[in-house]
Amino acid sequence: MRALAIHKEEVTMRSTTVRHLVGGIAALACALAVVAGTASAAPSGPPIRIGSTLALTGPLASTALVHQLVGDIYVEQINKKNGLLGRPVEWIVKDDQSKPDLARTLYEQLITVDKVDLLMGPYATGAILSAMGVAQRYNKVLVHHTFGIPSLAKYDAQFPTWSLGADPAATFPNTLFDALATTPKPPKTVAIVTSKFPSVHFMSLGAREAVKKRGLQEVVFLEWDFGNRDFGAIAARVKDANPDLVWVGAIGLEGNQLLDAMKKIDYTPPLHFYMYPAPGPMAQAPEAKNALAATIFEEHAPYLNNPGAAEFVKLFNERAAKAGLPYTAVETQAAASYSAWQVLDAAVTATKSLDDKVLAEWLRKNKVDTIQGKLRFDGPSNYGDDLMAVKQVQNGRWVTVWPKSVAAPGATLMTK
Protein backbone atom coordinates (compact mmCIF):
# COMPACT_ATOMS: atom_id res chain seq x y z
CA MET A 1 0.00 0.00 0.00
CA ARG A 2 2.80 2.25 1.07
CA ALA A 3 4.64 1.45 -2.16
CA LEU A 4 1.50 2.21 -4.09
CA ALA A 5 1.12 5.52 -2.25
CA ILE A 6 4.72 6.42 -3.01
CA HIS A 7 4.23 5.50 -6.66
CA LYS A 8 1.04 7.63 -6.82
CA GLU A 9 2.90 10.51 -5.21
CA GLU A 10 5.74 10.17 -7.73
CA VAL A 11 3.24 10.08 -10.60
CA THR A 12 1.48 13.15 -9.17
CA MET A 13 4.81 14.96 -8.77
CA ARG A 14 5.87 14.05 -12.28
CA SER A 15 2.60 15.20 -13.75
CA THR A 16 2.87 18.42 -11.73
CA THR A 17 6.41 18.95 -13.08
CA VAL A 18 5.23 18.30 -16.64
CA ARG A 19 2.32 20.69 -16.12
CA HIS A 20 4.72 23.33 -14.79
CA LEU A 21 7.07 22.76 -17.71
CA VAL A 22 4.29 23.01 -20.28
CA GLY A 23 2.95 26.07 -18.49
CA GLY A 24 6.43 27.62 -18.51
CA ILE A 25 6.92 26.96 -22.20
CA ALA A 26 3.50 28.40 -22.95
CA ALA A 27 4.27 31.50 -20.90
CA LEU A 28 7.64 31.90 -22.65
CA ALA A 29 5.98 31.50 -26.03
CA CYS A 30 3.39 34.14 -25.06
CA ALA A 31 6.14 36.48 -23.86
CA LEU A 32 8.09 36.00 -27.10
CA ALA A 33 4.94 36.61 -29.09
CA VAL A 34 4.36 39.87 -27.20
CA VAL A 35 7.97 40.95 -27.76
CA ALA A 36 7.76 40.03 -31.43
CA GLY A 37 4.47 41.86 -31.69
CA THR A 38 5.94 45.07 -30.36
CA ALA A 39 8.99 44.82 -32.66
CA SER A 40 8.69 44.26 -36.45
CA ALA A 41 8.18 40.80 -37.81
CA ALA A 42 11.10 39.52 -39.84
CA PRO A 43 10.47 39.94 -43.56
CA SER A 44 9.61 36.75 -45.36
CA GLY A 45 8.80 35.47 -48.79
CA PRO A 46 10.64 36.03 -52.04
CA PRO A 47 12.82 39.13 -51.95
CA ILE A 48 11.91 42.37 -53.65
CA ARG A 49 14.81 42.96 -56.00
CA ILE A 50 15.98 46.51 -56.58
CA GLY A 51 18.49 46.99 -59.37
CA SER A 52 20.95 49.74 -60.03
CA THR A 53 24.43 50.47 -61.28
CA LEU A 54 27.10 52.59 -59.66
CA ALA A 55 30.45 53.84 -60.89
CA LEU A 56 32.38 51.45 -58.68
CA THR A 57 35.47 51.89 -60.84
CA GLY A 58 36.65 54.69 -63.11
CA PRO A 59 36.91 58.43 -62.52
CA LEU A 60 33.63 58.72 -60.60
CA ALA A 61 34.39 55.86 -58.23
CA SER A 62 35.44 58.06 -55.32
CA THR A 63 31.93 59.47 -55.01
CA ALA A 64 30.05 56.37 -56.10
CA LEU A 65 31.56 54.61 -53.11
CA VAL A 66 29.46 56.91 -50.91
CA HIS A 67 26.31 55.81 -52.73
CA GLN A 68 27.25 52.17 -52.32
CA LEU A 69 27.64 52.60 -48.57
CA VAL A 70 24.33 54.43 -48.35
CA GLY A 71 22.48 51.75 -50.31
CA ASP A 72 23.96 49.02 -48.13
CA ILE A 73 22.92 50.88 -44.99
CA TYR A 74 19.36 51.49 -46.18
CA VAL A 75 18.79 47.92 -47.34
CA GLU A 76 20.16 46.64 -44.05
CA GLN A 77 17.92 49.02 -42.09
CA ILE A 78 14.81 48.09 -44.02
CA ASN A 79 15.48 44.36 -43.73
CA LYS A 80 15.96 44.72 -39.97
CA LYS A 81 12.46 46.15 -39.82
CA ASN A 82 9.81 44.48 -41.89
CA GLY A 83 11.39 44.71 -45.32
CA LEU A 84 9.20 46.17 -48.05
CA LEU A 85 5.59 44.93 -47.96
CA GLY A 86 6.79 42.29 -45.50
CA ARG A 87 9.29 40.89 -47.98
CA PRO A 88 13.07 41.15 -47.71
CA VAL A 89 14.85 43.58 -50.02
CA GLU A 90 17.72 42.52 -52.22
CA TRP A 91 19.84 45.19 -53.88
CA ILE A 92 21.54 44.19 -57.10
CA VAL A 93 24.23 46.71 -57.92
CA LYS A 94 26.45 46.46 -60.99
CA ASP A 95 29.60 48.39 -61.85
CA ASP A 96 29.04 50.78 -64.76
CA GLN A 97 32.73 51.76 -64.66
CA SER A 98 31.78 55.47 -64.81
CA LYS A 99 30.60 54.90 -68.39
CA PRO A 100 27.08 56.06 -69.31
CA ASP A 101 26.94 53.71 -72.30
CA LEU A 102 27.69 50.76 -70.05
CA ALA A 103 25.09 51.97 -67.56
CA ARG A 104 22.51 51.79 -70.36
CA THR A 105 23.42 48.17 -71.14
CA LEU A 106 23.41 47.18 -67.49
CA TYR A 107 19.99 48.72 -66.80
CA GLU A 108 18.68 46.84 -69.79
CA GLN A 109 20.14 43.66 -68.24
CA LEU A 110 18.69 44.44 -64.83
CA ILE A 111 15.22 44.68 -66.31
CA THR A 112 15.30 41.91 -68.88
CA VAL A 113 17.71 39.34 -67.42
CA ASP A 114 17.76 39.94 -63.67
CA LYS A 115 14.08 40.87 -63.79
CA VAL A 116 14.33 43.29 -60.90
CA ASP A 117 11.11 44.58 -59.36
CA LEU A 118 12.27 48.16 -58.95
CA LEU A 119 15.04 50.43 -60.16
CA MET A 120 17.30 52.82 -58.29
CA GLY A 121 19.27 55.43 -60.19
CA PRO A 122 23.02 55.24 -60.85
CA TYR A 123 25.53 57.93 -59.87
CA ALA A 124 26.03 61.12 -61.89
CA THR A 125 24.16 62.89 -64.63
CA GLY A 126 25.47 60.97 -67.66
CA ALA A 127 24.68 57.53 -66.27
CA ILE A 128 21.29 58.67 -64.95
CA LEU A 129 20.38 60.01 -68.37
CA SER A 130 21.26 56.61 -69.85
CA ALA A 131 19.28 54.76 -67.18
CA MET A 132 16.34 57.13 -67.73
CA GLY A 133 16.17 56.13 -71.40
CA VAL A 134 16.02 52.45 -70.47
CA ALA A 135 13.49 53.04 -67.68
CA GLN A 136 11.29 54.93 -70.13
CA ARG A 137 11.47 52.11 -72.67
CA TYR A 138 10.21 49.62 -70.07
CA ASN A 139 7.89 52.05 -68.23
CA LYS A 140 9.81 51.64 -64.99
CA VAL A 141 9.94 54.20 -62.21
CA LEU A 142 13.41 55.65 -61.79
CA VAL A 143 14.17 57.38 -58.51
CA HIS A 144 17.63 58.95 -58.80
CA HIS A 145 19.89 60.96 -56.56
CA THR A 146 22.49 62.91 -58.49
CA PHE A 147 21.10 64.33 -61.70
CA GLY A 148 22.62 67.74 -62.26
CA ILE A 149 20.71 69.18 -65.25
CA PRO A 150 16.96 69.18 -64.50
CA SER A 151 15.99 70.47 -67.94
CA LEU A 152 17.22 67.19 -69.47
CA ALA A 153 14.95 65.03 -67.34
CA LYS A 154 12.06 64.49 -69.75
CA TYR A 155 10.70 61.14 -68.60
CA ASP A 156 7.56 61.49 -66.51
CA ALA A 157 8.30 58.55 -64.21
CA GLN A 158 11.74 59.77 -63.11
CA PHE A 159 11.94 61.26 -59.64
CA PRO A 160 14.93 63.31 -58.53
CA THR A 161 15.94 63.46 -54.89
CA TRP A 162 18.75 65.96 -55.23
CA SER A 163 16.58 68.97 -54.50
CA LEU A 164 18.00 71.34 -57.09
CA GLY A 165 14.68 72.76 -58.17
CA ALA A 166 13.65 72.91 -61.81
CA ASP A 167 15.91 75.81 -62.75
CA PRO A 168 18.92 75.80 -60.42
CA ALA A 169 20.99 77.97 -62.76
CA ALA A 170 18.57 80.78 -61.98
CA THR A 171 17.67 79.99 -58.39
CA PHE A 172 20.93 78.93 -56.79
CA PRO A 173 23.17 81.87 -57.81
CA ASN A 174 20.49 84.10 -56.30
CA THR A 175 20.66 82.16 -53.04
CA LEU A 176 24.43 82.68 -52.98
CA PHE A 177 24.32 86.38 -53.84
CA ASP A 178 21.51 86.90 -51.29
CA ALA A 179 23.78 85.33 -48.68
CA LEU A 180 26.72 87.51 -49.69
CA ALA A 181 24.54 90.60 -49.64
CA THR A 182 24.14 90.12 -45.89
CA THR A 183 27.88 90.44 -45.27
CA PRO A 184 29.42 93.76 -44.17
CA LYS A 185 31.19 94.11 -47.53
CA PRO A 186 29.17 92.48 -50.33
CA PRO A 187 31.18 91.72 -53.47
CA LYS A 188 31.13 94.22 -56.31
CA THR A 189 33.51 92.48 -58.70
CA VAL A 190 33.28 88.81 -59.57
CA ALA A 191 35.59 86.39 -61.38
CA ILE A 192 33.76 83.42 -62.85
CA VAL A 193 36.02 80.51 -63.67
CA THR A 194 34.46 77.21 -64.58
CA SER A 195 34.96 73.69 -65.72
CA LYS A 196 33.14 72.78 -68.92
CA PHE A 197 31.73 69.72 -67.15
CA PRO A 198 28.06 69.96 -68.16
CA SER A 199 26.36 69.95 -64.76
CA VAL A 200 28.52 72.75 -63.41
CA HIS A 201 28.99 74.75 -66.60
CA PHE A 202 25.32 75.71 -66.92
CA MET A 203 25.29 76.77 -63.27
CA SER A 204 28.24 79.08 -63.94
CA LEU A 205 26.42 80.57 -66.90
CA GLY A 206 23.52 81.14 -64.52
CA ALA A 207 25.92 82.92 -62.17
CA ARG A 208 26.99 85.21 -65.03
CA GLU A 209 23.36 86.15 -65.57
CA ALA A 210 22.85 86.80 -61.86
CA VAL A 211 25.97 88.99 -61.77
CA LYS A 212 24.62 91.01 -64.69
CA LYS A 213 21.13 91.35 -63.22
CA ARG A 214 22.48 92.51 -59.87
CA GLY A 215 24.66 95.18 -61.44
CA LEU A 216 27.92 93.55 -60.33
CA GLN A 217 31.02 93.62 -62.48
CA GLU A 218 32.37 90.45 -64.05
CA VAL A 219 36.12 91.00 -64.17
CA VAL A 220 37.12 87.71 -65.75
CA PHE A 221 35.37 84.68 -67.21
CA LEU A 222 37.42 81.55 -67.90
CA GLU A 223 36.51 78.02 -68.90
CA TRP A 224 38.62 74.89 -68.82
CA ASP A 225 38.09 71.35 -70.00
CA PHE A 226 37.29 68.74 -67.37
CA GLY A 227 40.52 66.88 -66.62
CA ASN A 228 42.72 69.97 -66.76
CA ARG A 229 45.91 69.41 -64.75
CA ASP A 230 47.62 72.78 -64.71
CA PHE A 231 45.76 75.52 -62.85
CA GLY A 232 48.80 77.81 -62.52
CA ALA A 233 47.86 80.16 -65.36
CA ILE A 234 44.19 80.28 -64.31
CA ALA A 235 45.22 81.16 -60.74
CA ALA A 236 47.53 83.87 -62.07
CA ARG A 237 44.72 85.35 -64.18
CA VAL A 238 42.35 85.41 -61.23
CA LYS A 239 45.00 87.10 -59.10
CA ASP A 240 45.59 89.64 -61.86
CA ALA A 241 41.87 90.43 -62.05
CA ASN A 242 41.72 90.97 -58.27
CA PRO A 243 37.99 90.23 -57.80
CA ASP A 244 35.99 90.51 -54.57
CA LEU A 245 34.48 87.09 -55.21
CA VAL A 246 35.68 84.09 -57.22
CA TRP A 247 32.90 81.82 -58.42
CA VAL A 248 34.55 78.50 -59.23
CA GLY A 249 32.42 76.20 -61.33
CA ALA A 250 34.37 73.23 -60.07
CA ILE A 251 33.46 69.62 -59.71
CA GLY A 252 35.43 67.16 -57.59
CA LEU A 253 39.08 67.93 -57.15
CA GLU A 254 39.19 70.90 -59.52
CA GLY A 255 38.39 73.25 -56.65
CA ASN A 256 41.35 71.99 -54.65
CA GLN A 257 43.61 72.14 -57.67
CA LEU A 258 42.77 75.79 -58.23
CA LEU A 259 43.14 76.58 -54.53
CA ASP A 260 46.51 74.88 -54.56
CA ALA A 261 47.64 76.89 -57.56
CA MET A 262 46.48 80.11 -55.89
CA LYS A 263 48.36 79.23 -52.73
CA LYS A 264 51.53 78.73 -54.74
CA ILE A 265 51.40 82.31 -55.96
CA ASP A 266 50.50 83.61 -52.51
CA TYR A 267 46.97 84.58 -53.44
CA THR A 268 43.93 84.18 -51.24
CA PRO A 269 40.66 85.35 -52.77
CA PRO A 270 38.60 87.56 -50.45
CA LEU A 271 35.50 85.43 -51.06
CA HIS A 272 35.50 82.13 -52.90
CA PHE A 273 32.70 79.79 -53.90
CA TYR A 274 33.00 76.26 -55.36
CA MET A 275 30.02 74.62 -57.01
CA TYR A 276 30.47 70.92 -56.22
CA PRO A 277 33.85 70.42 -54.54
CA ALA A 278 35.21 67.15 -53.20
CA PRO A 279 33.97 67.79 -49.65
CA GLY A 280 36.74 66.04 -47.72
CA PRO A 281 39.81 67.40 -49.45
CA MET A 282 38.37 70.91 -49.45
CA ALA A 283 37.32 70.95 -45.81
CA GLN A 284 40.71 69.63 -44.81
CA ALA A 285 42.83 72.04 -46.91
CA PRO A 286 44.04 74.98 -44.79
CA GLU A 287 43.83 77.32 -47.81
CA ALA A 288 40.12 76.51 -48.13
CA LYS A 289 39.29 78.55 -45.02
CA ASN A 290 35.91 80.23 -45.51
CA ALA A 291 35.37 78.55 -48.88
CA LEU A 292 31.71 78.45 -49.83
CA ALA A 293 29.81 75.70 -51.61
CA ALA A 294 26.30 74.43 -52.26
CA THR A 295 24.69 71.82 -50.06
CA ILE A 296 21.42 70.08 -49.27
CA PHE A 297 22.48 68.48 -45.99
CA GLU A 298 25.18 68.80 -43.38
CA GLU A 299 25.74 67.04 -40.09
CA HIS A 300 24.09 69.53 -37.79
CA ALA A 301 20.69 70.75 -36.70
CA PRO A 302 18.19 71.45 -38.15
CA TYR A 303 19.00 68.74 -40.71
CA LEU A 304 19.65 66.21 -37.97
CA ASN A 305 16.10 66.72 -36.73
CA ASN A 306 14.67 65.34 -39.98
CA PRO A 307 13.25 61.81 -39.76
CA GLY A 308 15.95 59.16 -39.76
CA ALA A 309 18.78 61.67 -40.19
CA ALA A 310 20.58 61.26 -36.87
CA GLU A 311 20.54 57.47 -37.02
CA PHE A 312 21.73 57.46 -40.62
CA VAL A 313 24.55 59.91 -39.92
CA LYS A 314 25.80 57.75 -37.07
CA LEU A 315 25.71 54.61 -39.20
CA PHE A 316 27.32 56.29 -42.19
CA ASN A 317 30.15 57.73 -40.08
CA GLU A 318 30.89 54.25 -38.74
CA ARG A 319 30.68 52.50 -42.10
CA ALA A 320 32.70 55.12 -43.94
CA ALA A 321 35.46 54.88 -41.34
CA LYS A 322 35.37 51.10 -41.59
CA ALA A 323 35.54 51.29 -45.39
CA GLY A 324 38.69 53.41 -45.05
CA LEU A 325 37.23 56.63 -46.44
CA PRO A 326 39.33 59.60 -45.42
CA TYR A 327 36.22 61.81 -45.08
CA THR A 328 33.38 60.16 -43.24
CA ALA A 329 30.81 62.94 -42.88
CA VAL A 330 27.38 62.91 -44.51
CA GLU A 331 26.80 65.77 -46.94
CA THR A 332 25.02 66.31 -50.28
CA GLN A 333 25.93 63.02 -51.96
CA ALA A 334 25.07 60.70 -49.10
CA ALA A 335 21.96 62.68 -48.21
CA ALA A 336 20.58 62.68 -51.76
CA SER A 337 21.30 58.98 -51.98
CA TYR A 338 19.57 58.13 -48.70
CA SER A 339 16.62 60.31 -49.71
CA ALA A 340 16.26 58.30 -52.92
CA TRP A 341 15.84 55.11 -50.92
CA GLN A 342 13.41 56.87 -48.57
CA VAL A 343 11.34 58.02 -51.54
CA LEU A 344 11.17 54.58 -53.12
CA ASP A 345 10.35 53.03 -49.75
CA ALA A 346 7.62 55.61 -49.07
CA ALA A 347 5.96 55.05 -52.44
CA VAL A 348 5.92 51.25 -52.13
CA THR A 349 4.74 51.34 -48.51
CA ALA A 350 1.98 53.86 -49.18
CA THR A 351 0.64 52.15 -52.27
CA LYS A 352 1.39 48.58 -51.09
CA SER A 353 2.34 47.99 -54.68
CA LEU A 354 5.31 47.32 -56.90
CA ASP A 355 3.45 48.47 -59.99
CA ASP A 356 5.52 51.22 -61.57
CA LYS A 357 2.47 53.06 -62.86
CA VAL A 358 0.89 53.14 -59.39
CA LEU A 359 4.15 54.23 -57.77
CA ALA A 360 4.70 57.02 -60.28
CA GLU A 361 1.16 58.27 -59.83
CA TRP A 362 1.54 58.35 -56.05
CA LEU A 363 4.89 60.13 -56.16
CA ARG A 364 3.57 62.85 -58.44
CA LYS A 365 0.77 63.58 -55.98
CA ASN A 366 2.48 63.24 -52.61
CA LYS A 367 5.29 64.82 -50.66
CA VAL A 368 7.86 62.57 -49.05
CA ASP A 369 9.68 63.20 -45.78
CA THR A 370 13.40 62.70 -46.27
CA ILE A 371 16.51 63.55 -44.32
CA GLN A 372 16.99 66.68 -46.44
CA GLY A 373 13.38 67.82 -45.86
CA LYS A 374 10.07 67.33 -47.63
CA LEU A 375 10.45 66.54 -51.31
CA ARG A 376 7.74 67.05 -53.89
CA PHE A 377 7.70 65.97 -57.51
CA ASP A 378 4.92 68.04 -59.03
CA GLY A 379 6.97 70.77 -60.72
CA PRO A 380 8.57 70.92 -64.17
CA SER A 381 10.49 67.70 -64.92
CA ASN A 382 9.14 66.34 -61.61
CA TYR A 383 11.36 68.73 -59.68
CA GLY A 384 10.15 70.47 -56.56
CA ASP A 385 11.77 73.23 -54.58
CA ASP A 386 15.38 74.29 -54.81
CA LEU A 387 16.52 73.34 -51.31
CA MET A 388 20.15 74.07 -51.98
CA ALA A 389 21.79 76.10 -49.26
CA VAL A 390 25.18 77.73 -48.87
CA LYS A 391 27.80 76.06 -46.71
CA GLN A 392 31.21 77.25 -45.63
CA VAL A 393 34.45 75.72 -44.39
CA GLN A 394 34.79 76.88 -40.80
CA ASN A 395 37.45 75.38 -38.52
CA GLY A 396 38.07 72.52 -40.93
CA ARG A 397 34.45 71.42 -41.27
CA TRP A 398 31.49 72.33 -43.41
CA VAL A 399 28.64 74.24 -41.80
CA THR A 400 25.54 75.57 -43.48
CA VAL A 401 25.40 79.35 -43.25
CA TRP A 402 22.49 80.34 -45.50
CA PRO A 403 19.50 80.50 -45.55
CA LYS A 404 18.98 81.02 -41.85
CA SER A 405 16.25 78.36 -41.73
CA VAL A 406 18.84 75.63 -42.27
CA ALA A 407 21.97 77.32 -40.92
CA ALA A 408 23.91 75.47 -38.22
CA PRO A 409 23.04 76.78 -34.76
CA GLY A 410 25.02 79.96 -34.19
CA ALA A 411 26.75 79.83 -37.59
CA THR A 412 27.13 82.96 -39.69
CA LEU A 413 28.79 83.60 -43.01
CA MET A 414 32.42 84.47 -42.32
CA THR A 415 34.23 86.88 -44.60
CA LYS A 416 37.69 86.98 -42.97
Partner 1 sequence: MGLPSLSLIAQSVLSGVFIGALYGLLGLGLSLSWGLLRQINLAHFALAFLAAYLCYQLSTVGGIDPLLTLVVIVPGFFALGVAMQWLFARFEITAFNSLLVTFGLTVIVESLIQSIWTADFRRLESTYGNAKFKLGFLYIPAPELLTLVLSLSLAFSMWAALRYTDIGKALRAAAEDGPIATAFGVNRQALALLLSGACAALAGVAGVCIALSYTLAPAQIYGWIGVVFAAVMMGGLGRPLGPIVAGIVIGVSESVTMALTSPSWAPLVSFSLLIVVLLVRPSRV
Contacts with partner 1, residue ranges (CB under 8 A): 56-62, 64-65, 98, 196, 222-225, 227-230, 232-234, 236-237, 239-240, 253, 256-257, 261, 263-266, 278, 280-281, 284-285, 323-327
Per-state percent for the chain, helix, strand, coil, to nearest 5: 50, 20, 35
Q: What's the closest the beta carbon of residue 326 comes to partner 1, in angstroms?
A: 6
Least spacing, CB of residue 310 vs partner 1, in Å: 24
Between helix 100-112 and helix 125-137 the angle, nearest 10°, is 30
Whose Cβ is closer to partner 1: residue 237's or residue 364's?
237
Residues 125 and 316: beta-carbon distance below 8 Å: no
Q: What is the DSSP secondary structure assignment for residue 177, as one 8-state letter? A: H
Q: Are 170 and 212 in contact (CB under 8 A)?
A: no
In terms of CB distance, is 92 or 253 closer to partner 1?
253
Instruction: Tell which residue, 104, 108, 124, 133, has the closest CA to residue 59.
Output: 124
Could you tell me the smallest distance in angstroms from the CB atom of residue 25 to partner 1? 51
- Is 60 or 313 the residue whose CB approaches partner 1 more closely? 60
User: Coil, helix or strand for 323?
Assistant: coil
Q: Which is nearer to partner 1, 179 or 235 (CB)?
A: 235
Taking the complex as a whole, how short is the minimal distance between the CB of residue 63 and partner 1, in angstroms?
8
- SS3 of 226-295: the string is CCCCCCHHHHHHHHHHCCCEEEEEEEECHHHHHHHHHHHCCCCCCEEEEEEECHHHHHHCHHHCCCEEEE
- Rounded least distance, CB 196 to partner 1, Å: 6
Complex with partner 1: residue 207 or 363, whichever CB lies closer = 207
Quote the least distance from Cβ 35 to partner 1, whole Å: 40
Closest approach of partner 1 to the CB of residue 48, in Å: 29
Side chain identity, residue 164: L
- The count of C-alpha atoms lying within 13 angstroms of the C-alpha of 2, restricted to the half-sphere facing its C-beta, is 0
Residue 189, classed as helix, strand or coil, is strand
Identity of the residue, 257 or 382, whose beta carbon is nearer to partner 1 in the bound complex: 257
Closer CB to partner 1, 78 or 291, in the complex = 291
Closer to partner 1 by CB, 326 or 380: give it.
326
What minimum distance in Å lies between the beta carbon of 123 and partner 1? 12
Is the distance from CB of 131 to CB of 53 less than 8 angstroms?
Answer: yes
Taking the complex as a whole, the smallest distance from the CB of residue 67 to partner 1 amounts, in Å, to 12
Q: Considering beta carbons, is residue 223 or 369 the nearer one to partner 1?
A: 223
Backbone angles phi, psi at 390, to 5 degrees: -105, 130
Q: Do 248 and 193 meet the contact criterion of CB atoms below 8 Å apart?
A: yes
Count of residues in the chain? 416
- Closer to partner 1 at the Cβ: 28 or 233? 233
Rounded to the nearest whole angstrom, what is the least distance from the CB of residue 55 to partner 1 in the complex? 9
CB atoms within 10 A of CB 20: 10
d(CA 407, CA 416): 19
Residue 4: how many CB atoms within 10 A of its CB? 8
Tell me the sheet residues that pair with 191: 220, 246
Between CA 398 and CA 405, with CA 401 as vertex, the angle to 5 degrees is 125
